[in-house]
Structure 1
Amino acid sequence: MEQDDVATSPQLLRKINMGAVLRYALESEAFRAIDAMAVTGLTRSTVLGLCDELAAQGWIEEMGDSREAGQYIKGRPARRYRLRGDAGHIVGVDAGQHTVTAIVADLRGTILARAAQTLDSQRGSVRRSTVRNTVDKALALAGIQPEEVFLVVVGVPAPVDDKGRSPDSTEYWRNMNPDFPAVFADCGRTVVDNDANLAALAERAHGADADSFAALLSGERFGAGLVIDGVLLRGPRGAAGEMRLLNVVEGVGSADGIGLLGRKWAVDASRAGKIPPGSILAGIRQERLSAEAVFDAAAAGDVTALGIVDRLAERLARIAHVLASLLDVEKVIIAGAVAAAVEPVLKKAAAVLAEKFEAPVPALAASALGADGVVLGALECGLSTIRSQPLTFDPHLLEQRRGALS
Structure 2
Amino acid sequence: MSATTTMTTGRAVGAGPRSVNVAAVLDTAWSVAAFTATDVIEATGLARSTAIALCDELIELGWLAELDDSRQSGAEYRKGRPARRYALREDAGLLVGVDAGAHSITAVVTDLRGREVARSQRVVNPMADGDERIAAIDAGIDEALAAAGAATVLCLAIGIPAPVDTQGRSPERDPFWQRVNPRIAERVAGRGCPVIVDNDANLAALAEGAIGAGVGLESYITIVSGERFGAGYVIDGRLVRGRGQAGELHLLDLVEGVGSTLGVGAVLRDWAREQRTVGTIPETSPLAELPVDKIEARAVFEAAAAGDPVALDMLDRVADRLARIGAVLGGLLDVERIVFAGALAPSMPPLLDLTTAALATYMNADPPELVASTLGADIVAQGAIASAMEYVRRNALAIDMSTGPAAP
Fold-level match, TM-score > 0.5? yes
Following superposition, the deviation at residue 38 of structure 1 comes to 3.2
User: Per-residue CA shift, 1:224-274, capped at 9, x if unaligned?
Assistant: 112223332211x12212211112222222111111222233333334444
Paired amino acid for 2:30:
L
Is 1:383 paired with 2:385?
A: no
Go from structure 1 to structure 2 and tell me whether the alpha carbon gap of 1:133 and 1:261 turns closer, same or farther (over 3 Å shift): farther
Structure 2 letter corresponding to 1:114:
R
The range that moved more, 379-388 or 83-92, is 379-388
Q: Which residue of 1 aligns with 2:5?
A: none
1-side partners of 2:288 and 2:160: how far apart? Answer: 36
Of Structure 1 and Structure 2, the greater helix share is in: 1
Q: What amino acid sits opposite 1:77 in the alignment?
A: P
Q: Residues of 2 paired with 1:124 and 1:399: CA distance?
A: 28
Q: How far has the Cα of 1:11 moved from its partner?
A: 8.2
Match of 1:229 in 2: 236
CA–CA distance in structure 2, aligned partners of residues 189 and 12 of structure 1: 23
Deviation of residue 105 (structure 1)? Answer: 1.1
Using the TM superposition, give the Cα deviation of residue 343 of structure 1 relative to its aligned residue in structure 2, in angstroms: 2.1
Q: In the alignment, which residue of structure 2 is the partner of 1:24?
A: 28
Aligned counterpart, 2:73:
69
What's the counterpart of residue 253 of structure 2? 247
- What SS does the corresponding residue of 1:396 show, helix, strand or coil? coil
Aligned to 2:312: 306
User: Are 1:118 and 2:131 matched, yes or no?
Assistant: no
Q: 1:39 aligns with which of 32, 40, 43?
A: 43
The SS at the match of 2:87 is: strand
Shift of 1:340: 0.9
Counterpart contact for 1:202–1:373, Cα < 8 Å: yes
Residues 269 and 142 of structure 1, relative CA distance in 2, 3 Å threshold? farther
CA positional deviation for 1:212: 2.9
Structure 2 CA distance for aligned equivalents of residues 97 and 353 of structure 1: 32
Per-residue CA distance 1:44-78 (angstroms, 9 max, x = gap): 44433433332233222111111111223532222
Q: Does 1:87 align with 2:92?
A: yes
Q: CA distance change for structure 1 residues 399 and 229 in 2, over 3 Å: closer, same or farther?
A: closer
How far, CA to CA, are the matches of 1:124 and 1:169 in structure 2?
16
2:302 counterpart (296, 312, 324): 296
Aligned residues: 390
Residue 106 in structure 1 maps to residue 111 in structure 2:
yes
| Selected match of 2:349 from 324, 343, 357 | 343
Match of 1:337, SS state, is coil
Query: Which of 285, 289, 295 is matched with 1:279 structurally?
Result: 285
Tell me, in whole angstroms, the C-alpha distance in 2 between the residues paired with 1:157 and 1:9.
Answer: 37
Match of 2:371 among 355, 365, 376: 365
CA distance in 1, matches of 2:145, 2:34: 27
Q: 1:261: which partner in 2?
A: 267
SS at match of 2:231: strand
Q: How far 1:330 sits from its partner (Å)?
A: 3.7
For the 8 Å contact 1:298–1:344, the answer to whether it is kept is: no
Q: Residue 4 of structure 2 aligns with which residue?
A: none
1:27-47: CA deviations, max 9, x gaps?
Answer: 331112232233344444443
Correspondence for 1:5? none
Q: Indicate the residue corresponding to 1:132 in structure 2.
A: 138
What does residue range 115-194 of structure 1 map to in structure 2 within 5 Å?
A: 115-122=120-127, 123-144=129-150, 148-181=152-185, 182-194=187-199
Instruction: Give the Å deviation of 1:368.
Output: 2.2
The answer to which of 30-39 and 352-361 deviates more is: 352-361
Moved more, 157-166 or 296-305: 157-166
RMSD of aligned Cα (Å): 2.8
**Secondary structure at the counterpart of residue 247 of structure 1:** helix
Q: Which moved more, 1:10-19 or 1:24-33?
A: 10-19
Contact (CA 8 Å) 1:151, 1:187: kept in 2 or not? no
> For 1:251, what is the secondary structure of its paired residue?
coil
TM-score with structure 2 length normalisation? 0.85
| Secondary structure class of the residue paired with 1:350 | helix
> What SS class does the counterpart of residue 376 from structure 1 fall into?
helix
Cα distance per residue 1:148-199 (max 9 Å; x no partner): 2111111222222334333333222222322223225215111111211222
Gaps of 5+ in 2: 1-11
Distance 2:251 2:15 in 1: 52
What TM-score do you get using the length of structure 1 for normalisation?
0.86
SS of aligned partner of 1:113? strand
Compared with structure 1, are the counterparts of its residues 119 and 271 closer, same or farther at alpha carbon in structure 2 (3 Å cutoff)?
A: farther
- Aligned residue number for residue 9 of structure 2: none
1:239–1:283 CA distance, 2 compared to 1 (3 A): same
Corresponding residue for 1:353? 359
Larger mean CA deviation between 206-215 and 96-105 belongs to 206-215
Unmatched 5+ residue regions in structure 1? 1-7, 401-406
Is the Cα contact below 8 Å between 1:132 and 1:184 reproduced in 2? Answer: no
Q: Which amino acid aligns with 2:28?
A: Y
Residues in 2 aligned to 1:53 and 1:215: alpha-carbon distance in whole angstroms: 40
